[in-house]
A and B are shown apart, each in its own frame.
Chain A
Amino acid sequence: MALTLSDVKRIAHLARIEVSEDEAGKALGQLNEIFVMIERLQSVDTSGIEPMSHPLGGGQRLRADQATGADVRDAALKNAPSQQDGLFLVPRVIE
């Protein structure tokens, strides 16, 4: 199974990364080489085997749904590319 140029563009769109025609072509070759390597997994018999998502198993630890109180708004906003009045600014989305 080999990817096509339109697959690469679709994936890049899903990943929200801009790619030019040229870059998509280059990525296509590299991704297909990587997928040849990954394809080896398809021949492994994994019937009856549980997927492993955490090396030590166990469930997700939960905490009480309580606010911790730390007010880091100003510190967090300091790294925003654009902000005003304690809010993140984005380009207009509603005309």
Chain B
Amino acid sequence: MSEMHARTVAELGRALASRSISAVELAQSYLERIARNRDLNAFLDVRPEVTLAQARDADARIARGDATPLTGVPVAHKDIFVTRDFASTASSRMLKGYMSPFDATVVEKLAGAGMVSLGKLNCDEFAMGSSNENSHYGNVLNPWDKTAVPGGSSGGSAAAVAARIAPAATATDTGGSIREPAAFSGITGIKPTYGRASRWGMIAFASSLDQAGIMTQSAEDAALVFNAMLGFDPKDSTSVERPAEDYTRSLGIDLKGLRIGVPKEFFGEGLQPDVEKAVRQALDEYVKLGAKLVDISLPNAALGIPVYYVIAPAECSSNLSRFDGVRYGHRAAEYADLADMIKKSRKEGFGPEPRRRILIGTYVLSHGYYDAYYIQAQKVRRIIADEFQRAFRQCDIIAGPVTTSVAFGFGEKAADPVAMYLSDLYTIPGSLAGIPGMSIPCGFGARNLPVGLQLMSNYFEEAKLLGVAHRYQQATDWHKRIPKGFEA
């Protein structure tokens, strides 16, 4: 039982079903591991009594014989999802101690399947960032190298799965916040098609881009969790109405003849040679498995960054206007009048990055600039989305790097917002299009830090995407590597 933490969601589910471990034992084991690795700062709120009560319910359910494959398996939630039993802060001072009156749909669905919640995970404030350095509650350390960032904004989720202090963690992706930290932390992370996961109870950043996903050790695990997590939700106005599906159905996909599109724009200037080498080796592995590589082009992919930094701040300035120090959230201690109270509360409650993005967004939406910036960005967004559709006529899957480099060091980009924004060069285009995308471990680069392979599919082809990733993980063992110091 000592190596329980190294097991996947699929393995833990089988062990629980066969009663060779109990949900309570499993929860206790993870809670101990979380306590032992507190220096990672991955968790913001842990409440053993809540976790153990859920584990006891899971054991009762297994005993009754109405368990799902996930009943009793622990999961931790990014602190962007609101939860009734744990504080929900979005890693912001603004929401310090906030207790939600309800659970996010994603949280509710996973609990409904019997998953046991380990607590809430650190992230960039309001999911704005690429290094997790924007959390009000401190940096998360990368388990592979504690001087490196874990990536962001889902840095706590990525570090927790990498350190094996959670077998699965929810995450959210607006411009790359699942794929980039998954790559930097050497784990599997996937965002589905926009509209597949409910946004109800996900603290909003940029609503036309925000999408929940999952981080796990393997693609098979992600498919299992997706079965319980995704689906239509009438409470989310952009939720997609489609019949439920089995995301594990294509795990046995035959790669023979699969056309993998390789966009030349993802291998240009800026891509570090160590990352390129690992990604090219992964592509070679796919060729060995029977796939064909096809050269494709996404000519305007690089415009994704300016498009994103108009649309995301615009939507963020609108979403974050709800924080006024009246109904919930931080209120300044001293003020002259109502207007002053709102201004001071927002200044004190928001950290520098949300404040910066609110200012950009307010400007691009202001009178006289709306058409020139916001509407123009939405038009270029369509150009980029259309280019993906042209590319998918030539290929079944698109593959390339997730990031230009392996994880960088703390402080390296923190003072230069534009350099930080470029971290998401390869992930933003897929987010703008709203297609599924994932990162899977494919080797190691500089300083022995993990490299991620990005795989993208067309809309609603998550099952195929997960299958393509799973076949690679059956042929390689990069996803089974555990950072030094976390094996035992």
Contacts and interface: CB of A to CB of B under 8 A. Distances in A.
Contact of A51 (B317, B382, B421): B382
Interface in A3-38: 3, 7-8, 11-12, 14-19, 27, 30-31, 33-34, 37-38
A90 B362 contact: no
A40 B359 contact: no
Contacts of A14: 362, 366
Contacts of A67: none
**Interface size class, chain A:** 35 or more
Contacts of B421: 34, 37
Nearest to B377: A41
B15 interface: no
Interface in A60-77: 60-61, 63, 72, 75-76
Contact of B341 (A34, A72, A91): A91
Contacts of B339: 16
Contacts of B337: 91, 93
A55 B338 contact: no
Contacts of B375: 51
A18 B343 contact: yes
Centre residue among B194, B305, B341, B343 by max chain A CB count within 10 A:
B343
Nearest to B375: A51
Interface in B332-366: 335, 337-344, 346-347, 350, 355-356, 358-360, 362-364, 366
Interface residues of B, number: 72
Given A16-B339, A18-B343, A30-B417, A56 B359 contact: no
Contacts of B340: 18
Main secondary structure of the interface of B (DSSP, over half): helix
A45 B328 CA distance: 44
Contacts of B335: 91
B306 A16 contact: no
B359 A31 contact: yes
Nearest to A3: B363
Interface stretch (B139-147, B234-242, B269-277, B466-474): B234-242
B376 A27 contact: no
18 contacts: A11-B363, A11-B366, A12-B359, A16-B324, A17-B343, A17-B347, A17-B350, A18-B346, A34-B360, A38-B306, A44-B303, A44-B379, A46-B383, A50-B382, A51-B378, A52-B379, A56-B434, A82-B331
Interface of B: 98-99, 101-102, 193-195, 208, 234, 237-241, 300, 303, 305-307, 309-310, 317, 321, 324-331, 335, 337-344, 346-347, 350, 355-356, 358-360, 362-364, 366, 372-373, 375-383, 385, 417-418, 421, 432-435, 459
